[in-house]
Chain A
C-alpha cells in the first residue's frame, strides 16, 4: 500500500514530458537518439489524430472482438471489481486509468486468467476463458504478451535467455532461429543486441529493463499485449520512448493492447479507447475525445488532477 503511495507521490513530482526545446542536455548520442524518438512519437501522435481508427496490421481484423470482459465481479475479503464490462476490437489499444488501488492491475490478471472472476465472463478471441483448466489456461496465455510493472525479468538468466525463454518453451525453433528472433525483437525495442544480449537484468537501467520486458512479451508474436504501468517510475524521456514503443507495436504489427496506467498524458497518446475505473466500476468507457468532451463531474476532476 505504502509502496503504491510512494509511486504516486513520485509520479506527481515528475514533470510530464517536456515541451520541445526544453529537453535537459545530456551527453552525446543518447540525447540525439532520444530527440529523434520524440520527434517520431510526435509525428505518430499527429498521424493518429488525423485518422481516428487505427490501421490494423497484416491479418488483424478490426471488426473482430478480441478481448471482452462481460459483467465481471471479483472480490477477496472485500469486493474489488463490480459489474465491469468492456471490449477491444482487433488492433485497438484500451487504456485503463483510475486512482491507485481501484483494481486496475486486477483486470490484467483476469485477462491472463491468473485470477478467475466470481461472476461474469472473460473472453479472449471469442472464447470464454473462465472455465478453463490450468493447462488450457497456459495455452491461452501464449496468445498474450505481458509487460510487468517492474519488468519481472528472470534475474538468474541473461537478457538473451529471458527473451528466448518463451521461444524455447513453446516453439520448435532451432538455436539459430531463436537467436535471430531475439536480435530482431531487441532491435525493435531500440536496444543494440550486441551490447545487451549477454548482460544480466541487474546490470540494466530501469528503462532498458522495461524495453527488454517488452521484447520478451512480444517474442512469441502475440496478438494481444498487456502492459501494467509501463511508464511508472521512469523519467519523462524514457516514458516517451516506452509510449512510442507501444504505439509502434500497435501500428506496425496491429497488436491489440490493454494498458493499465495512471499517466493520463501518455494514455491519451496511445489510447483508442479509455476505460476509467472508479469505485470498483467502469465510470467511463470511450474514446479520448469523448472523455475530454465529457462534463461528468468526476471525469473533469480526474482529468484536472493531472
Chain B
C-alpha cells in the first residue's frame, strides 16, 4: 500500500517530491485509519456485547477524576474575565454588564473549550499512554487472540464515556466560571450578587430560544463539548492503538494525541460556531 518511490537520489527536486509524496500518503492513510476507527467505534455503541462495566469505569476515569482541574480552571477563568472586563467596561460606565459578558463568554466559548483542552491534556494523554503500552506489550494482540475486538472492548467505552461526560464537565466548568466572576464582581467591582446573577440570566434569555424553551446559549455550549469528547477519545485511541517502537513510541503517541486533540478542538470550535450561528441566528 505504501511503496516508496524509487527515484534517482542525485536529483534534489525529486528527493523533495518523493518525501512530500511519502508524507502526504502517510497523512491520508492515517486519516483513513482514523475515520475507520471512528466509524467502528460508533457502530459498536449499538452492537452486542456491551461492555457496560468498562464504560462506567471510563466515565469515572474521564469525568469524575477530571472534576478538580475543571472546577479550578473554570473558577479562575471566570475571576480573570471579571477583572479584565470590569476595567474595560469602566471607561463606558457600564460595569453592571460584567455578569452578561461573563455568562456569554463562559457558556458559549470558554466553558466548552477550556474543559475540552483540560480533558485533552489529562484524559487524551492517559488513553494514548494506556492503549499504547497495551499495544507494545502485546495485550492488544492478546485481546484479539482471546476473541475480543479491541475496538469494542477498549475504544467504544472510552468514546461513550467521553461523549457523556464532556457536556457534564462543561456545565460544571461554566458554573464555576460564573461563580468566580461573581466573587470578583462583588469584591472588586462592587456589584451585588443578586444583580450579578440577574444579568447572567438576562444574557441567557437575550440569546434567544430554540423550541421555545432551550436557550440558544446552552445549545452552543452543549453541542461543542459533545463533539470535543469524541475528538479527545478517538484521537487518544487512534494514536494509542497504532503505537510502534516500544516505550519511546508510547511517549510519541501521548504527545501527538495532546497536540492533535488540542488543535482539532480549537479548529472545530470555530466551524461549529459558524454552523450554529447560521442555524440558530444568534
Q: Is B a genuine binding partner of A?
A: yes
Please list the residues of chain A having a beta carbon within 8 angstroms of any beta carbon in chain B.
Answer: 3, 77, 109, 112, 114, 134, 138-139, 141-142, 144, 146, 148-150, 152-155, 165-166, 169-170, 216
- 11 inter-chain pairs at a CB distance below 8 angstroms, sorted by A residue, are A112-B145, A134-B149, A138-B147, A139-B147, A141-B144, A144-B145, A152-B142, A154-B134, A154-B143, A165-B146, A169-B147
Tell me the chain B residues, 104-145 only, with Cβ under 8 Å from chain A.
134, 137-139, 141-145
Asked if B246 lies at the interface with its beta carbon under 8 angstroms from chain A, I say: yes
List, in ascending order, chain B residues with CB within 8 A of A114's CB. Answer: 141, 144-145
Tell me, in angstroms, the Cα distance from A138 to B138 when the chains sit together. 17
Interface residues on B, range: 10 to 19
Residue B148 lies at the interface, judged by CB distance under 8 Å to chain A:
yes
Residues of A within 8 Å of B134, CB to CB, are 154
The chain A residue sitting closest to B40, CB to CB, is A134
Contact A169 B148, beta carbon cutoff 8 Å = yes
> A146 contacts B142, CB within 8 Å?
yes
Query: CB within 8 A of B145: which of A134, A141, A154?
Result: A141
* A3 to B148 CA separation, bound complex (whole angstroms): 28
CB of A148 within 8 A of CB of B142, answer yes
| Neighbour of B138 across the interface among A77, A150, A166, A216, CB < 8 A | A150
Query: Which of B137, B144, B145 contacts A150 (CB under 8 A)?
Result: B137
Are A141 and B246 closer than 8 Å at their CB atoms? Answer: no
Q: Shortest CB–CB separation between residue B44 and chain A, in angstroms?
A: 12
**B137 proximity list for chain A (CB < 8 A):** 150, 152, 155
A135 to chain B, nearest CB (A): 8
B144 and A169 within 8 A (CB): no
Nearest CB in chain B: distance from A254 CB, A: 21
Report A250 CB to chain B, min CB distance, Å.
20
Q: List chain A residues, Cβ under 8 A from B246.
A: 3
Taking a contact as CB atoms closer than 8 A, the residue among A148, A169, A216 that contacts B141 in the complex is: A148
Separation of A260 and B115 alpha carbons in the complex (Å): 49
| B49 to chain A: closest residue by CB | A169
Least CB distance from A55 to B in Å reads: 28
Asked if B147 contacts A152 (CB within 8 A), the reply is no
- In the bound complex, CA of A149 to CA of B147 (Å): 19
Q: Which of B1-40 contact A (CB under 8 A)?
A: 2-4
State whether A138 touches B149 (Cβ < 8 A).
Answer: yes
A165 to B149, CA, bound (A): 13
A24→B51 CA distance, assembly (Å):
48
A150 CB contacts on chain B under 8 angstroms: 137-138
Distance (whole angstroms) from the CB of A118 to the closest CB of chain B: 12
Q: How far does the Cβ of A143 sit from chain B's closest Cβ, in whole Å? A: 10
Q: Give the distance in Å from the alpha carbon of A152 to the alpha carbon of B137 in the complex.
A: 6
Rounded to whole angstroms, the CA-CA distance of A77 and B138 in the bound complex is: 22
The complex places the Cα of A3 from the Cα of B145 at a distance, in Å, of 24
On whether the beta carbons of B142 and A154 are closer than 8 Å, the reply is yes
B25 CB to closest chain A CB, in angstroms? 13
Q: Is there an interface contact between B148 and A152, defined as CB atoms closer than 8 Å?
A: no
In the assembled complex, the Cα of A134 lies from the Cα of B36 at a distance in Å of 14
Are A141 and B147 in touch, CB under 8 angstroms? yes
Nearest 10 A-B pairs (CB), nearest first? A152-B138, A152-B142, A146-B145, A166-B146, A138-B147, A148-B138, A142-B147, A152-B139, A141-B147, A141-B145
The distance from the CB of A181 to the nearest CB of chain B, in whole angstroms, is 15
List of B residues within 8 angstroms of A148 by Cβ: 138, 141-142
Closest residue of A by beta carbon distance from B149: A138
Q: Which B-chain residue is minimally distant from A2 (CB atoms)?
A: B246
Kindly state the separation between the CA atoms of A134 and B202 in the bound complex, as whole angstroms: 55
In angstroms, how far is the closest chain A Cβ from the Cβ of B138? 4
In the complex, chain A residues whose CB is within 8 Å of the CB of B144: 112, 114, 138, 141
B146 A141 Cβ-Cβ under 8 A: yes
**CA A170 to CA B153, docked complex, whole Å:** 14
Query: In the complex, how many angstroms separate the beta carbon of B241 from the nearest chain A beta carbon?
Result: 13
B3 to chain A, nearest CB (A): 8
CA distance A148 to B134 in the complex (A): 13
- Residues from chain B with a CB closer than 8 A to the CB of A165 are 146
CB distance from A253 to the nearest CB of B (A): 19
> Which residues of the partner chain A approach B148 to less than 8 Å between Cβ atoms?
138, 169
B2 to chain A: which residues have CB within 8 Å?
77
